[in-house]
Amino acid sequence: MYWFLRLMIIGCLCWNVSPLSAAGPDAAELKASRDKAINFLKNSQNEDGTWTFSEAAGISALVTSALIESGVPLTDPTVDKALKKLVSFCQEDGRICSARSQHSGYETAVALMALQDANQSGKYTPQIKKAEQFLRSLQFDESKDIKPSDLEYGGAGYGPDGGRPDLSNTVFMIEALKAAGAKADDPDIQKALIFVSRCQNLESEFNTSPAAAKINDGGFYYNVSAGGASPSGKNKDGGLRSYGSMTYAGLKSMIYAGLTPKDPRVKAALDWIQKNYTVENNPGMGDNGLYYYYQLFAKALDTAELKQVTDSKGQKHDWRNELASHLFKVQQENGSWVNSKSNRWFEGDPNLVTAYTLLALKNCETTPAAD
């Protein structure tokens, strides 16, 4: 069950991990913080069941997942109203978003995951299956005359109307397919792994893109196709700089696709994380996308079954406790979180940021040590 952690312990990677010495956050403090955040989100819901604005299916889906995963029952009026609104966004072709949305891929992915969180009785299975097929249709592959040798291959973008794929949307697609029941060997997840691997700064048999060797630090960036892009910028040789949120996203996706610590792509990503470990900022991006980073940081390390991380200076970190303690300190009096230093990627919206934070705190919960 704990294959990933066991492989780490027996020396497949030069990373010190102790399953017994990581205590995680104080349970009472976690509950108090979570309860304040839940109360904030209940009070900030719009009359129509959405959050922030009435066509924001993506934000509303993330908030709904955050509430459900934080223990709010499906019968709670806030959750019930939110789920009914998400269902109302469902369209005939499977997408879950407003008719005017320009981000149908992203919004459908997070809405599928919210419906799956609420699908204990199978009530939402029809909507989930249609959404799954819609997401699969967005993938850049042979159905769009894209060849495996093309840098776009396997990726997904914001929607079906042209554009180009990127790592963030591809990661949302992978996680949504997994939530819908897809396994690591699913053909579309394996296609996505090709794109994910090409967004890594690592020259290998899996990545011969023009940018692969220019930085070669094992981290990830936003997009390898269409000339490549990284909001962290480029080095003097034109290499696309790695940054925190995409590196944790890349690690999580590689694990979902069945890679183990023996794989050089995983080892390189973990080495980058070891050298750039922090809960103070989004490495390479500073305060930009900070709470999206926290959510990916926690999800990836939890998925990797890591209890503790030893950084490049040899200092051991109980990442669950450190992240949660930091988040407790910066919580607003009204129970919300907001990125007060950067509004980039909508992080000035307390509903979105509070959802990200609750999802991160879910992964900060202490889990039993591996046996």
Distance CA 185, CA 203 (A): 24
Helical axes 27-44 vs 319-330, angle rounded to 10°: 50
- Residues 6+ positions from 133 with CB-CB distance below 8 Å: 94
Q: What is the mean pLDDT of the chain?
A: 92
pLDDT at 149: 95
- Copy the structure tokens of residue 15: 């990373």
pLDDT tens-digit profile of 34-47? Answer: 999 999 999 999 99
Q: What torsion, rounded to 10 degrees, do the Cα atoms 26, 27, 29, 31 define?
A: 160
Q: Which CATH number fits domain 3-364: 3.40.1110.10, 1.10.10.10, 1.50.10.20, 1.10.1270.20?
A: 1.50.10.20
Task: State residue 22's pLDDT score.
Answer: 62
pTM of the predicted model, to two decimals?
0.93
Distance CA 33, CA 360 (A): 13
**CB within 8 A of 162, min separation 6: which ones?**
none
Rounded CA-CA distance 77/79 in Å is: 6
Domain residue ranges of the chain, discontinuous segments joined by +: 3-364
Cα angle: 217, vertex 6, 249; to 5 degrees: 40
Q: Provide the 10 A C-beta neighbour count for residue 308.
A: 20
Q: Which two tokens stand for residue 26?
A: 């104080």
Per-residue pLDDT tens digits for 58-70: 999 999 999 999 9
pLDDT for position 15: 41
* Res 368 pLDDT > 90: no
Contact (CB, 8 A) for 155 and 144: no
The mean pLDDT of 153-167, rounded to a whole number, is 88
Mean pLDDT of 172-183: 98
How do residues 275-299 score in pLDDT, each as one tens digit?
999 999 999 999 999 999 999 999 9
Tell me the average pLDDT across 48-52.
Answer: 98
Check: CB of residue 309 under 8 Å from CB of residue 302: no
* CA distance linking residue 148 with residue 200, whole number of Å: 17
Tell me the two tokens of residue 321. 């406790």
Q: How far is residue 173's CA from residue 188's CA, in Å, rounded to a whole number? A: 10
> In whole angstroms, what is the distance from residue 17 CA to residue 13 CA?
10
| First vs last C-alpha separation in the chain | 9
Length of the chain: 371
